[in-house]
Chains A and B, each alone.
Chain A
Amino acid sequence: MTLLQWPYNRDRMWTPRLVGKSISGGRTLSGPMIIGRFDGGGIWMVDAGEVQVSTPDQQRAWRALEGYLDGGANDILVPMREYVTAPFPPLIPPVYALNCRNSDSSACSDGSTWACSLVYVTMLATAVLRATSLTVNVATTGAQLRGGEIFSVVHPTHNHKAYRITTVTANGGNSYTVGIRPPLRDSLNVGQELYFDFPLCVMHLAADNAMDLTTTRRFFGQGALKWVESFPPYNT
């Protein structure tokens, strides 16, 4: 199952949010306002504003993706990367894929190297469906989890799903216990990687006219998009 990926960083305004559904009966006579949530943890919605479509290639790409997404009927991988909050080690330029070598610093026989994540985080213990606490190993020296970071995990049927770290507790060494929202969409096994470098999430357009684009003198323009998290089975 291959999903296309939305181009990264063309938007000037970016609002990822976990949307829940709650109801309230209003304020009671004794003072408290009782609120009940019914959504089970929330769903990702992303508002991308002022998406720059400045060149002919960008216009063509926009029109092509508009046709591909079919007004929200098809799904796509949306980058959830927030450069300033990602836990990159200080003083190291963050790149999506590093050239990694073998443990003895050698390369492959043809001279090529391995591609790997800059921030390499894996599961130290299994986590069940709907878990909100993970025990992870942060292998990258200098990478520090503080809370608020967005990461994604590749689930067997759910593909990339994004989560946000809410709490961090150091267990000693490279082990941390982190709280996440929303709850896990599927279970995770020991050793499974959590992607902090370039997290993605399967989404679809929230409205069938979300990709309307008005251009100035047909030269350039800017669009605004609303994405909503999508669940399997996916239309590719």
Chain B
Amino acid sequence: MTTFPFDFQLQQDTYRLGLFLRLELLVMFRFWLGIGDVVANIDASDGGGSVYSGIGEILNLPAFSQVINGAADRFELKLSGVSARVANLAATQSDQVKGVNLRLGVGMFDTTWALIGNPVWLKQLIVDFVIVEGDQKTRTVGLSARTLFTGRRRPQASFFTNEDQTRISPGDRFCENTGRYTTGSVKTWPVF
């Protein structure tokens, strides 16, 4: 039976958790929501171990949701208190992150704050656009990311008509006789 790598630690009364993020730009942007740097080797992209920079903030990460029935899922990651220069960069160079993969993962530390094994990725998202907000006191920049099921270009619902099916699978005769059914009728599966 496959278990989550940190099952034992999560069963304790206290645990030390690290939230890791990686923005897969041309130059990988690795960071984690803790203080100080951490060397982690999460997957092949990290080589023999890469430094994840600590940003020292607990961001309000929204809850992860398992996509069932294809519901649209959007994830927003925000950081407040940035300088005007950072906010300006975010606003003018947002096209550089569009379509970039964003991975979120979790790692566990032991009582000496050493990583237990390597963190694991929990979610992969695609960055859509950069968020820039602010009032007179606080500037906030963020990323809005989606899953594969969030895209608005999904086609309209299709029907089991012969035309729809043959368009999807040319030569397929599965829906050849659906036009012979009356609306509301129930076709009982034959008993042999």
A residues neighboring B (CB under 8 Å): 21, 32-43, 129-130, 132-133, 179, 182-183, 185-186, 231
Q: Is the CB of B56 within 8 A of A39?
A: yes
Chain A residue at minimum C-beta to C-beta distance from B54? A40
Q: Is the CB of B36 within 8 A of A37?
A: no
Provide 21 A-B residue pairs closer than 8 Å at the C-beta atoms, listed in order of the A residue. A34-B13, A35-B14, A36-B14, A36-B17, A37-B14, A37-B16, A38-B19, A38-B34, A39-B34, A39-B58, A40-B34, A40-B35, A40-B113, A129-B39, A130-B113, A132-B114, A182-B36, A183-B113, A186-B37, A231-B36, A231-B56
Contact digits for B67-95, partner A, Cβ 8 Å, 1 yes 0 no: 00000000000000000000000000000
8 Å CB contact of B56 from A33, A43, A132, A133 = A43
Q: Evaluate whether A40 and B18 lie within 8 angstroms (CB atoms) in the complex, with A130-B36, A132-B113 already known.
A: yes
Closest beta carbon of chain A to B116's beta carbon, Å: 13
Q: How far is B54's CA from A14's CA once the two chains are assembled, in angstroms?
A: 28
Count CB-based A-B contacts (< 8 Å): 72
Q: Is the CB of A21 within 8 A of B36?
A: no
Q: How far is B115's CA from A130's CA once the two chains are assembled, in angstroms?
A: 9
Residues of A close to B149: CB separation below 8 A:
none
Q: Evaluate whether A129 and B14 lie within 8 angstroms (CB atoms) in the complex, with A39-B56, A40-B113 already known.
A: no
Q: Evaluate whether A36 and B15 lie within 8 angstroms (CB atoms) in the complex, with A41-B113, A130-B113, A132-B114 already known.
A: yes
B interface, size bucket: 20 to 34
Chain B residue at minimum C-beta to C-beta distance from A19? B35
Given A38-B16, A130-B36, A130-B39, 13 extra CB contacts under 8 A: A36-B15, A36-B17, A39-B34, A39-B56, A39-B58, A40-B16, A40-B34, A41-B34, A43-B56, A132-B114, A183-B112, A186-B37, A231-B36
- Secondary structure type dominating chain A contacts: loop
Q: How far is B10's CA from A36's CA once the two chains are assembled, in angstroms?
A: 9
Contact digits for B1-31, partner A, Cβ 8 Å, 1 yes 0 no: 0000000000001111111000000000000
Chain B residue at minimum C-beta to C-beta distance from A228? B56
B100 within 8 Å of A (CB atoms): no
B104 within 8 Å of A (CB atoms): no
Q: Is the CB of B33 within 8 A of A130?
A: no
Q: How far is B112's CA from A41's CA once the two chains are assembled, in angstroms?
A: 9
Q: Evaluate whether A183 and B19 lie within 8 angstroms (CB atoms) in the complex, with A32-B13, A37-B14 already known.
A: no
Residues of A close to B13: CB separation below 8 A:
32-35
Q: How far is B34's CA from A231's CA once the two chains are assembled, in angstroms?
A: 13
Q: How far is B13's CA from A39's CA once the two chains are assembled, in angstroms?
A: 17
Q: Is the CB of B58 within 8 A of A130?
A: no
Q: Evaluate whether A38 and B58 lie within 8 angstroms (CB atoms) in the complex, with A32-B13, A33-B13, A133-B112 already known.
A: yes
Q: Is the CB of B112 within 8 A of A132?
A: yes
Q: Is the CB of B38 within 8 A of A40?
A: yes
Contact digits for B49-64, partner A, Cβ 8 Å, 1 yes 0 no: 0010010101000000
